[in-house]
A = this chain, B = another copy of it.
């Protein structure tokens, strides 16, 4: 195992100084008045041995790693992983690498991850924050580390963010059900004070009230999502309790659980019950019935996130104002929200 050649090795081999080699390799040959023949000599040699600088050393010296962190609730979630892919491509073109990680929406884990990546001197953070990490975000900002929040944000923190208009999306989805002559429209959501969720609830409640309808809400505590009792609760809410004619789900994984419950309980119910869910999934257009979904603009979200981040990175001007983008989601109407009664 021959160790990888360093600048020093190259300099020695060519009988020039390390400085010269470094200048040439960084394209500063002309500017630093290195003669054309020497430039050629260096480049020819480094090409021939396929020299690659050690990024760790570069990072230590320059303080830049060209690494960005994308921290979300769960990277195996379709919504997040799709956006991750989109951002990865854009970042890649600009010479940045994006690292993905999952915080499970837990503060403890978020803090550990921020700590861990700060130690590694990453250049910027794109974060779907868990509820209680305002201090950590603030501290990053204080240290002039670029941060862009995503999907949700802190209302009393002046930080760049990219989100969708959840209230509007939710309102449209609810109105769509109302327009289709549903009236006992339930809303199943997770218990959360994070604004992406509270805004979705608000959109629903307001739409119901302004149509003179009674809001019917079931809130599942986050930590019980995958518990068996959640299924029972959902069943009770939809089937036994309120005589719902339709349900609007605030998030994808609740939809999955609920559809399963409904299927297990009463195969035919699905044909009658109106269903709209937040967040689209590739399999929703294959399902029977195909499922109406609020679709977030993944491409635009990814692009907006990365552009915001790149702007922050390129503006050494400390005084750059935070950019706040609010995109619109669209409703993809499929069969599940058509009233068959």
Q: In the complex, which residues of chain B have a beta carbon less than 8 angstroms from the beta carbon of A119? A: 52-55
With A116-B97, A121-B54 as contacts: A283 and B281 at CB distance below 8 Å: yes
Q: Which residues of B contact A82 (CB under 8 A)?
A: 76
The interface-forming segment of A17-25, A124-132, A211-219, A256-264 is A256-264
A236 to B281 alpha-carbon distance, docked (Å): 26
Query: Quick check: is A180 within 8 A (CB to CB) of the other chain?
Result: no
Task: Identify the stretch in A37-45, A56-64, A147-155, A170-178 within 8 Å (CB) of chain B at 4 or more residues.
Answer: A56-64
A121–B256 contact, CB under 8 A?
Answer: no
Q: Specify which chain B residues have a CB less than 8 angstroms from the CB of A57 in the assembled complex.
A: 60
Q: Assuming A76-B78, A76-B81, is B285 touching A52 (CB within 8 A)?
A: no
Q: Could you say which of A53, A59, A76, A270 has the most chain B C-beta atoms within 10 Å of its C-beta?
A: A76
How near does chain B come to A256, taking the closest CB pair, in angstroms?
6
Would you call A315 an interface residue if the criterion is a C-beta within 8 Å of the partner chain's C-beta atoms? no
A76 touches B84 (CB 8 A): yes
| A49 at interface, CB cutoff 8 A | no
B56 touches A60 (CB 8 A): yes
Q: Given A1-B144, A75-B100, A76-B85, are A56 and B120 also a contact pair (CB < 8 Å)?
A: yes
Q: Which of B102, B118, B143, B288 contacts A85 (CB 8 A)?
A: B102
Complex formed: what's the CA distance from A116 to B53 in Å?
A: 10
Find chain B residues with CB under 8 A from A115 CB. 52
Q: Which residues in chain A, 42-98, are within 8 Å of chain B measured between CB atoms?
A: 52-57, 59-60, 65, 74-76, 78, 81-82, 84-85, 88, 97
Question: What 5 pairs between A and B have smallest CB-CB spacing?
Answer: A76-B81, A288-B288, A283-B283, A259-B286, A55-B119
